[in-house]
Amino acid sequence: MKCNGMYFNRFDICEAYYLFAVYYHIGQWSKEYAIFGRLHKIGFTRPHLSNLKTGYRHLSENGKMIFKGLVKAQKNRRVKNVY
């Protein structure tokens, strides 16, 4: 299933969310930090993704599109919360 060039792949989704949480969490009680717990419950661990610069390179093209979508949505939420 494709949507805007992206397609459903659990592994790509997990990697993109993991890297997003690494970069955007603002502390242990943030919604972004909770992503780590959900990924851990399904057995997903990727220490090579812990660094944004090297982790992003490990993502597939699909994973990169998913990650960019998460970042865009996060920026839109922050702009809306300012007002």
Q: Which domain holds residue 48?
A: 2-82
21 exposed, middle or buried (CB, 10 Å; 0-12, 13-18, 19+)?
buried
How many domains does the chain contain in total?
1
The whole-number pLDDT of residue 78 equals: 65
pTM across the whole model: 0.77
Position 2 pLDDT exceeds 60: no
Mean pLDDT, rounded, for 8-24: 91
Position 83 pLDDT exceeds 70: no
Query: Could you report the per-residue pLDDT of 38-58, keeping only the tens digit for each?
Result: 999 999 877 676 666 678 888
